[in-house]
Amino acid sequence: MSLSVHTRKSTKKNFPLESLLMPQVPRSNYLHFQEEKLRLQLKKFLLNRMFLVAKISANIEKKDIAEYYEELFQSILRHHLGEAVTGLLFIYPTSILHILESSSSTLYQILLDYLNHEKDEMEFFIQGMKIIVTSHNIPTRLFMQWHVSVIKVPVMYLDDVTQSQSLEEVITEFLIQTHKLALYLFKTVKVGTKGPGDNLHQVAPELLLPEQIIKYLCNSAEFMDPKTFINMYNKPIHVTLDSEVVWPATFRF
């Protein structure tokens, strides 16, 4: 009898140990989901991604364009709270493609600086800028730093797809190619390196957009210029109440 009792006691003692040895499957619930959602909403700065295209003066040195943006980024971070700028600047012979990732306040200051240069009497070397697309509250960056690459591929007028495609087809190709290129650089470029350099047309020529597409988007009236974007950004939101449109009511509800 005593032996059987001892056996039962041993079994009870070993049971918790056996349960600890069982594989634990991580589980989530709706409370964890809401807490994570709240944590993301309370981030100090939300990330945004903006695609810009513009024309450049024919006699401008390519290094001057890169130095202008580098000095601009540093000045903005010194005087305004926001996220550091990452992205990619492609400098074609007569145009640029610029992908920027940062907080909305930093992107606002970049566009505002461009508008201030437009007001100067001296002609600015960046002209006809258009905002192709802006993505708000992106989950993560595609670029770990800001890269500059000079595209030296000659213009091929015989392959100008903008003559045979609609604007919808051109912009679709633009977005697909730029995202493919961004993913390629994300996988191949290491943090701290100088980036793709000026030989990207030799490393991944199939991912580069022809300059005709960049110039075509610059000339398209369907895309917003920085002045229009800034005016919409600063425009207050007015809410019209029902009492303001109901007639012939003589008092406010």
Domain ranges of the chain: 43-234
pLDDT of residue 183: 84
pLDDT at 90 over 60: yes
Residues 119-149 have pLDDT tens digits of: 775 788 999 999 999 998 888 888 888 989 8
Q: What is the pLDDT of residues 43-73, one digit of tens each?
A: 567 889 999 999 998 888 889 999 999 999 9
How confident is the prediction for the chain on average, in pLDDT?
78
Three-state SS for 151-219 is CCCCCCHHHCHHHCCCHHHHHHHHHHHHHHHHHHHHHHCCCCCCCCCCCHHHHCHHHCCCHHHHHHHHC
Q: What is the CATH number of domain 43-234?
A: 3.30.70.100
Backbone angles phi, psi at 33, to 5 degrees: -65, -45
- Contact assessment for residue 96 and residue 54, using Cβ atoms and an 8 Å cutoff: yes
Average pLDDT over residues 80-107: 91
> pLDDT tier at 204 (50, 70, 90 boundaries)?
confident
Residue type, 140: T
Per-residue pLDDT, 209: 87
Percent of the chain with pLDDT over 70: 66
Decide if pLDDT at 2 tops 50: no
pLDDT given at position 167: 87
Least-confidence region, from 21-25, 109-113, 130-134: 21-25
pLDDT value of position 56: 94
pLDDT digits (tens, 9 = 90+) for 142-199: 888 898 988 876 555 445 666 678 888 889 989 898 888 888 888 887 766 666 666 7
Check residue 226 and give its pLDDT.
94
- Low-confidence winner among 8-22, 203-217, 218-232 (lowest mean pLDDT): 8-22
In this prediction, residue 58 carries a pLDDT of 81
Which DSSP letter does residue 238 get? Answer: P
- Which single residue is written with the structure tokens 């993301």? 40
Confidence band for 206, pLDDT divided at 50, 70 and 90: confident
Gap between the Cα atoms of 235 and 21, Å rounded: 62
